[in-house]
Amino acid sequence: MGRYRVQFANGTEGKLRRALGIALVVAALPLLASAQEKPQEPKAKPPGLQVVRDAVATGVSNREPVEPGQVFAPSVGRIYYFTELRAEAPPTEIAHVWYYRDREVARVSLPVQDSTWRTWSSKQILPEWTGAWKVEALTPEGAVVASETFAVETPPPAPPSVPEKTEGKPPGSK
């Protein structure tokens, strides 16, 4: 194919080219703007998981914590972590992560089957495992939504008993 060149008198060729160039740019601006303004696809929002109530306890009965506390005797045997949850998009899951002296010792994944859910995990406690403990509730994405700390300690010795005072009589007399 051959190329044709049109020449105009009085230098109008350059003006025409500029006008066409400007027209093309003006026509393309809305397309460029809409491409830049086009919202990105929203990222999938993880289902919301909220801990309404949590407790460390010596047991769970009728879906309620039994003897909740912060300090437990080494003879406790087992500790329970109870969580009451609200879930935006069940089913989902929650993880209870147990730490002893800042070191992870157990991880338990628990299903959350409804928008209101109570669940718990437990950890066997040996008598020699005294000291600081922590348990965290984590979403499937790994976000901490609740945490409890507790201690396993030997209770202090009871104060010595004071002998019963008798009024003015020496001990052993009647």
* CA-based torsion, 105, 111, 115, 117: positive or negative: negative
How sure is the predictor about 43, in pLDDT bands with cuts at 50, 70 and 90? very low
pTM exceeds 0.85, yes or no: no
Q: Which of 10-19, 39-48, 78-87 shows the lowest mean pLDDT across its residues? A: 39-48
Q: So what's the pLDDT on residue 48?
A: 87
Query: What's the fold here for domain 49-152?
Result: Immunoglobulin-like (2.60.40)
Task: Quote the mean pLDDT of the chain.
Answer: 81
How sure is the predictor about 155, in pLDDT bands with cuts at 50, 70 and 90? confident
* Residue 8 CB coordination number (10 Å): 10
Here the tokens at position 89 are 């998009």
